[in-house]
């Protein structure tokens, strides 16, 4: 399996879990987990792999480089859904939404965490997280 897009974002388990952090002082959960000096105020927690689509949109043009590092260009770019997924009682996470049918998406729709490949402009392949409608195969 290719390496993760960034260390500490998700577990390599089946099913995968996002790695969040709970602030020790008040229990507030965040994602991603803070690093450096701020990280000492948090304890790592595996977040739920199930949630609900909170909001979404469709990215219909190629994002600017940088910060976007995909291996596509203006001609090969394919639109994708991006949105926020609420993990009840935990946090709302920004994520790509994996679907071939944008019209099937709706707020409140059950979502499941998945891992998907991402090819960088330098040709290297990494794995990143995304959510997909329950029952869909990545």
Range 22-26, long-range pairs (CB < 8 A, 24+ positions): none
CB 78 within 8 A of CB 72: yes
pLDDT in tens, 68-95: 777 778 888 899 999 999 999 999 999 9
Confidence at 43, pLDDT banded by 50, 70, 90: very high
Q: In what order do the strands lie in the sheet with 19-23?
A: 29-30, 19-23, 42-46
pLDDT in tens, 55-71: 999 999 888 877 777 77
pTM (predicted TM-score): 0.88
pLDDT in tens, 1-40: 568 888 889 998 888 999 999 999 999 999 999 999 999 9
Task: Give the residue extent of every domain in the chain.
Answer: 3-133
């Amino acid at each position: 399996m290719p390496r993760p897009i960034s260390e500490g974002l998700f577990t390599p388990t089946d099913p995968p879990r996002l790695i969040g952090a709970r602030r020790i002082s008040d229990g507030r959960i965040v994602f991603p987990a803070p690093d450096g000096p701020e990280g000492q105020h948090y304890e790592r927690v595996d977040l739920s792999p199930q949630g609900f689509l909170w909001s979404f949109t469709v990215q219909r043009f190629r994002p600017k480089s940088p910060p976007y590092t995909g291996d596509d260009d203006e001609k090969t770019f394919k639109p994708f859904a991006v949105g926020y997924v609420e993990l009840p009682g935990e946090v709302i996470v920004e994520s790509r939404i994996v679907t071939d049918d944008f019209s099937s998406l709706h707020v409140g729709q059950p979502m499941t965490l998945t891992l998907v490949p991402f090819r960088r402009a330098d040709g290297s392949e990494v794995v990143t997280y995304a959510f997909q409608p329950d029952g869909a195969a990545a």
